[in-house]
A and B are shown apart, each in its own frame.
Chain A
Amino acid sequence: MKTVNRPVRKKDAMQLLTGQPVYTDDIAPKDCLIVKLLRSPHANAVVETIRTDIAKKVPGIEAIYTWEDIPQDGRRYTIAGQTYPEASPYDRLILDRHVRYVGDPVAIVAGEDEKAVDKALSLIKVTYEVLEPVLDFRKAKDAPILVHPEENWESLCPVGAENKRNLCAHEESGSGDIEAVLADCDLMIDRVYHTKACQQTMMETFRTFCTIDAYGRLHVVSSTQIVFHCRRIIANALHIPKSMVRVGKPRIGGGFGAKQTAVSEVYPAFVTWKTKKPSKIIFTREESMTASTPRHEMEIRIRLGAMKNGWIRGIDMYTLSNTGAYGEHGPTTVGLTGHKAIPLYGRAEAFHFDCDVVYTNVMAAGAYRGYGATQGLFAVESAVNELAAMLKMDPFRLRELNIVREGEVMPAYFDQVNSSCALDRCLKKVHEMIRWEEKYPVRDMGNGKVRSVGMGMALQGSGIAGLDVGSATLRLGDENTYNLTIGAADMGTGCDTILAQIAAEVLDCDLDNIMVFGADTDASPYDSGSYASSTTYVTGKAVELCALKLREQICRLGAKLLHCEESQVEFDGKKVYALSKSRETLLEEEETKAGESLAEKRADAGESLAEKESDAEEPLAEKGTDVSEPPAEKGTDVGESLAKKGEDTGESLAEKGTDVGESQETGTAAPCVSLEEIAAAAMSGNEISLEAAYTHSSPISPPPFMVGAVELETDLLTGEVKVIEFDACVDCGTPVNPNLARVQAEGGIVQGIGMALTENITYDGKGRVSENSLMQYKIPTRLDMGEIHVEFESSYEDTGPFGAKSIGEIVINTPLPSIADALYHATGHRYYELPITPEQIAMAAEVLEKEA
């Protein structure tokens, strides 16, 4: 492969590194109204009175909106970026008289500058009827206090949601008789694990600006992963037609799932729609920490049954998820705790998974890299590590005995076949990388410090099976360049480049010849957006198939210029050649020839060569036909009608073409026409389109796999923990860009280390988040992560572009169980709650010492 699987630079890299103005706030019009929100100081309250008359008198104030400006009985909406009909309930109003967490908006203020707006905010007088909040998510289900008592609360999907029970979702699934299996096991681990509402903490906070365009439509430019969902959300919120909204995204300063939810968009959209003036909102870091869309806090009970020989026979899981005040991504994240963790153990005879997602009066949760799998894997992998300790068996050995293998059916993964899997090789690799034999389980350093190791495995999906839609359009332009237009959002991950690599590979051209544009709802083809680890796998496949389709169209016009049948031309990326006979005939002849000439040699060698040749000729075309039946048919219809039209009027063009081709190719064997000439002909008296569009969905979501292991140094006196090294091996299928895949892994691992050791979220008695800045919420610095080593063991996923699966999310998962187990090895105490703080460790060490 020439471009795929190569570590090329990101197309926008140098623009970013030299600080060019490419982000939302850099390109917002200078005359934007500044939009800010007055937020509730109470976790559960009803606005009794709100006075804005004095605030409105502040010079420069354009407008102040309160619940009185929003019909309270109007249809509610969700800000979760999901395919319609969304699983997340419609439970929001732009401004709700009933505020449900500390930070819920009470008023929208728009003014000429920040100072005026700040002053107005301080002059708004609100009286509240303060209600008792639901703050303990363990007591929320069927509690007497309801977070959403309103009648216009609405659940669009059968996810078991009942607002009158504080339930956002409920699911139960299983296979086999779990109770019988557990009863028959030699031993059982029965534990409860707790993870917090961690923050994505992308460096660019939420932000959006809006203008009214030449047609009177609302033009929204936002730092978002989901332009198309965003358009629907804004239209739903404002109760205006979707056709009146256009959403685009510039460069995005990180997302990690946070921007899969329309956290900031609705407010300036409302202001601009009302005032018809440009406006923008820039969330402060404090707002991003206290009124956003963090990970779902979860409590997970695992009952895991096994035999003395290490055979894991059954896993029972109950997940309680805290969605907070609103239900964004509540019904969907929770399923991954079971469905993405249990399938790792392919030898199990039975599983059972039960979950509840509850409303409480804290900040609403949302999508964060890992999306529930992170929490589920922490629980299951920790339980398996505890089992290993009980059995006095090496955790790697225990995994080897039990893991799912390629080709096996995964009952907990919706009975999908494990189509590509190098998990076994990943285990071996990490075992070597960290030098497990030398280090397991713990070494006393003789200075009050110990060095210990721990490990864990992970699984994730590649897009949402049968749901996510990826699309691409490709157009041949002047000077051999192609325009690739996508609706997926590059949020720094490099998908613009990765998708261009796929296009360049198929079109046999340099990466520089592919210009990428994305994403804008007016210009881009429909794409669900960049989330659920879908972009490379789903949209990437759409790009591959789109490029194949464009090749055909290039050949069609080339053939016309060369006066021959389409089947009689070949395109090598630079020229279309006329062949003496049709491609099929030539291929057959070549095969026969090859067979004959080799007949004298060993027969099997000849066969294998012939096979290779035919493989090399056809692999892309074959793949394309296999997967793309319905859209290809459509394409052909259009193509055919165009071709017919072309036949009628195309005579003079064809004549022109011949002149060009012949003059170019005097003295060579095959007449040909160059891509430049084809591009030029396309712009002159032409009716054959050189623009292709393709849309793709995958009926399956092939899982990537990962194994990680950590070495920690723990000070037993103070509880201070230092990460010495983290070693990981990923099976993401073919890494389309090995550099970008590696950095995804490294970045994800460091986020996982943060979640395991330092990133804490706590609430005071009134429901206020204590960690409201980067001062309190400690994400890892470069002094906190030790050395990270990442390797790849690739499987080949037939349904992905060039064998690729996903990598974006899986990479965050393994540090959690690895670190928890390494700390068990260090201190002899098990940790069931994250983050594991020095206090927890020092206290545990002291207790153990006293016992000893």
Chain B
Amino acid sequence: MLITITLNHKKITSEVSPDTLLIDWVRAQGCASVKRGCETANCGLCTVFLEEKPVLSCSVLAVRADGKRVTTLEGLQEEAAEFGAFIADQGAEQCGFCNPGFVMNALALFREKPDPTEEEIREYLAGNLCRCSGYEGQMRGILNFLAWKKEKKSAKEEVR
């Protein structure tokens, strides 16, 4: 089947078989940030944006994305680095294998809820498993990032 997907702002037309999963398609396009941690939609490692909404690319057929926009971490490098720095400052990236999915979903959370509570953070990211960090360092990083964002925003408003 011939499909056209706008991957990270670039239109790509390619031939796929009906059972090609989106995760395998984006990896074949060079988006190696997208990782597979299970085959049962439990781990969150393969999170990508489909029309700006986070989905598990292991559970979406490539053909379902036909005519749509798909974003991976490759298309969000600046945002990823800005937020990621706060996780790095906690040493909570650890092995890093779950990082892309976690960062994608965290960015989705910040877009949806710019000022989430700790409970909202935990719930939103509950599907992003991490075996190394014990999650606490990720939480500290997220809270520091949000505080920094807030400060930056209020500093901007003061200048105005």
Interface residues, chain A, with chain B CB atoms under 8 Å away: 7, 9-10, 12-23, 25-26, 200-205, 251-256, 284-286, 491-494, 737, 739-740, 742-743, 745-751, 773-775, 779, 781-783, 785, 787-788
Q: CB distance A747 to B94 under 8 Å?
A: yes
Contacts of A14 in B (CB 8 A): 81, 84-85, 88
Chain B positions 60 through 76: 1 when the CB is less than 8 Å from some CB of chain A, otherwise 0: 00000000000011100
Min C-beta distance of A121 to chain B, whole Å: 16
- Give the residue of A7, A13, A254, A782 whose beta carbon is less than 8 angstroms from that of B139: A782
The reply on B43 being an interface residue by CB < 8 A is yes
- Output the residue of B123, B127, B129 with the most chain A CB within 10 A: B129
Min C-beta distance of B113 to chain A, whole Å: 16
Given A17-B88, A17-B103, A746-B133, the answer on whether A203 and B81 have CB atoms closer than 8 Å is no
Contacts of B34 in A (CB 8 A): 19
Given A19-B103, A782-B126, the answer on whether A253 and B135 have CB atoms closer than 8 Å is no
The majority secondary structure among interface residues of chain A is loop
Q: CB distance A12 to B126 under 8 Å?
A: no
Report the Cα distance A22→B95, complex, angstroms: 11
Min C-beta distance of A655 to chain B, whole Å: 48
The reply on B158 being an interface residue by CB < 8 A is no
Contacts of B89 in A (CB 8 A): 7, 9, 739
The reply on B18 being an interface residue by CB < 8 A is no
Q: CB distance B95 to A773 under 8 Å?
A: no
Q: How many chain B residues touch A (Cβ–Cβ < 8 Å)? A: 51
Report the Cα distance A750→B33, complex, angstroms: 26
Report the Cα distance A746→B91, complex, angstroms: 11
The reply on B108 being an interface residue by CB < 8 A is no
Report the Cα distance A788→B138, complex, angstroms: 12
Q: CB distance B131 to A201 under 8 Å?
A: yes
Closest to A203 in B: B97
Report the Cα distance A298→B130, complex, angstroms: 27
Report the Cα distance A7→B89, complex, angstroms: 8
Q: CB distance A773 to B73 under 8 Å?
A: no
Min C-beta distance of B136 to chain A, whole Å: 5
Contacts of B85 in A (CB 8 A): 14, 17
Report the Cα distance A204→B37, complex, angstroms: 6
Q: CB distance A773 to B42 under 8 Å?
A: yes
- Apart from A10-B88, A494-B94, what 20 extra A-B contacts exist at CB < 8 Å? A13-B84, A13-B88, A14-B85, A17-B88, A17-B99, A19-B33, A19-B74, A19-B100, A19-B103, A23-B35, A203-B98, A203-B129, A254-B95, A254-B132, A743-B94, A746-B134, A747-B133, A747-B134, A774-B129, A782-B128
Docked complex: B107-160 residues within 8 A CB-CB of A: 122-123, 125-139
Closest to B141 in A: A17
Given A7-B91, A19-B73, the answer on whether A775 and B40 have CB atoms closer than 8 Å is yes
Docked complex: B41-69 residues within 8 A CB-CB of A: 42-43, 45
Report the Cα distance A285→B38, complex, angstroms: 5
Report the Cα distance A253→B137, complex, angstroms: 18
Min C-beta distance of B35 to chain A, whole Å: 7
- Give the residue of B39, B80, B126 whose beta carbon is less than 8 angstroms from that of A783: B126
Q: CB distance A774 to B42 under 8 Å?
A: yes
Q: CB distance A782 to B122 under 8 Å?
A: yes
Report the Cα distance A252→B81, complex, angstroms: 21
